[in-house]
Amino acid sequence: MKRVLMIAAMLCAPQVSEAQGLTIDPQIVRDCFATTETGAFFPACLGQASGQCQDLPGGSTTIGIAECIAAETAEWDTILNEEYQATQKVNESADTDGLSQVMDRSDALRDAQRAWIAFRDADCGARYAMWQNGTIRTIVAANCHLTMTAQRAISLRDMRGE
């Protein structure tokens, strides 16, 4: 079972594929993020970049689709990390403002982020396992990573109230 989850994680890990020359336009993802309203759970523009990538030669195969989705996920993951760092800076500033507090905000976010990563990986691994007998499993797991990563990036931004 652990081997299946490790394989699923390797297949779905965010990366930009050069194998078939499949790439996404990162600006599409950045624009999607920037125009997503506060509190939005599923931006309508999610998947646009990977959709355009799938129109490239080799992009419509199972491997191509998964690579395009992984490339878009990689850009969302970059945004997520930027939002995490920005939110942590706000938390660290609030933690040192001299006011009494019940718990350290930056530690709480760090712990939540670690738990979220474990949950995302386990949840997407479960989706992969549910479809383990079909080639769609790779696309299902890749889509899971894309969706959850984008949602978390938006959630981290929204935590700051910006």
| pLDDT (0 to 100) of residue 100 | 56
Q: Is pTM, for the whole model, over 0.85?
A: no
| pLDDT (0 to 100) of residue 97 | 67
Contact 90, 83 (CB under 8 A): no
Please give the share of the chain, as a percent, with pLDDT higher than 90: 73
Sequence-distant (6+) residues with CB within 8 A of 48 are 28, 32
| pLDDT (0 to 100) of residue 4 | 39
| pLDDT (0 to 100) of residue 98 | 66
Q: Which residues of the chain have pLDDT under 70?
A: 1-20, 97-102, 162
C-alpha distance from residue 69 to each of 42, 52, 64, 121 (Å): 16, 10, 9, 16
103 burial via Cβ count (<10 Å: 0-12, 13-18, 19+): exposed
